[in-house]
Amino acid sequence: MSLNIAMDGPVGAGKSSVADAVAKRLGILHLDTGAMYRALGLKALRDGIDLQDEEKIDALCEGLKLDVRVGENGQETLLDGENVSGLIRTPEVSMAASTVSRYARVRKRMVKLQQELAASRDMILDGRDICTTVLPDADLKIYLTASAEERALRRWKEMRERGDTDSYEEVLSQVRERDEQDMNRPVEPLRQAEDAVLLDSTNLTFEQVIDRIAEMAEEVRHGN
Ligand code: DC
């Protein structure tokens, strides 16, 4: 029987790095579902398509040549055969991803792709609707969060290391703007699933978060 872990949470909660580390610890794979919405956002920006034009974005998504390869050494996101894994990490693409992810048909297509990728493999998926929609029957469901200030601070530090010059206030306002958009969209807004374990990492170290999730996963595994 395969092990599926579902993890949701707001921007900057550290889901992706946490899921990566948990996957390594448990010897399972990690699918970063946000990368898929980011790839669509990047394509729309490149093609100069109005992000507010739902029909055009739906059509773009319908014909999107997206290939997601998940392996032990991480994930590669290929758009029209080009590896865009690094290019989809800019603030501009983040906002574009958040905007295109509001559309119902886009979500339907991405959810289907994610379910196919996760089927019968030991995997942890992170995103916004994994516990609620993508893997409602996951073995373990986690809602990872932290205060907006703490999430902005972590993101700002990461960005500074990459040489970005945005101020902390700018990063905090981007975090709040994306929270607002992700939590208030009409289709599958970000929310904690009733049966998800709440993990607030505001006062926890990265290692403590990994330990807690790995412990819960081992319990589920042995209960299987
Ligand atoms: O996790 P992330 O920051 O890479 O996600 C980028 C955007 O994609 C995020 O603002 C909301 C959207 N998203 C989503 O709606 N559902 C998911 N499962 C993953 C991401």
Domains of the chain, residue spans:
4-214
Per-residue pLDDT of the chain (224 residues; tens, 9 = 90+): 689 999 999 988 999 999 999 999 999 999 999 999 999 999 999 999 999 999 999 999 999 999 999 988 899 999 999 999 999 999 899 999 999 999 999 999 999 999 999 998 999 999 999 999 999 999 999 999 999 999 999 999 988 998 989 999 999 999 999 899 889 988 888 999 999 999 999 999 999 999 999 999 999 988 85
Identify the residue whose C-alpha is closest to ligand 1 atom 6. Answer: 34
- In the prediction, which pLDDT does 187 show? 85
Residue 98 Cα to ligand 1 midpoint, Å, equals: 6
Identify the residue whose C-alpha is closest to ligand 1 atom 5. Answer: 34
CA distances from 45 to 13, 50, 57, 99, 100 (A): 26, 8, 11, 12, 11
Nearest C-alpha neighbor of 47 from the set 38, 58, 60: 60
SS3 213: helix
Structure tokens at 155: 């993101």
Give the whole-angstrom CA distance, residue 171 versus residue 110. 27
Identify the residue whose C-alpha is closest to ligand 1 atom 9. Answer: 98
The CB-side HSE value for 147 (13 A sphere, CA atoms) comes to 6
- In the prediction, which pLDDT does 224 show? 57
Structure tokens at 71: 């392996």
Residue 128 Cα to ligand 1 midpoint, Å, equals: 6
Q: Is 20:29 a contact under the CB 8 Å cutoff?
A: no
Other C-beta atoms closer than 10 Å to the C-beta of 219 total 11
Nearest C-alpha neighbor of 138 from the set 121, 160, 161, 154: 121
Give the whole-angstrom CA distance, residue 186 versus residue 183. 9
Strands 4-8 and 140-145: parallel
Other C-beta atoms closer than 10 Å to the C-beta of 71 total 9
Identify the residue whose C-alpha is closest to ligand 1 atom 14. Answer: 128
Whether residue 103 has its Cβ less than 6 Å from ligand 1: no
Whether residue 37 has its Cβ less than 6 Å from ligand 1: yes
Enter the pTM of the model: 0.91
Whether residue 128 has its Cβ less than 6 Å from ligand 1: yes
Could you name the CATH architecture of 4-214?
A: 3-Layer(aba) Sandwich (3.40)
10 Å CB burial of residue 28 (0-12, 13-18, 19+) is: buried
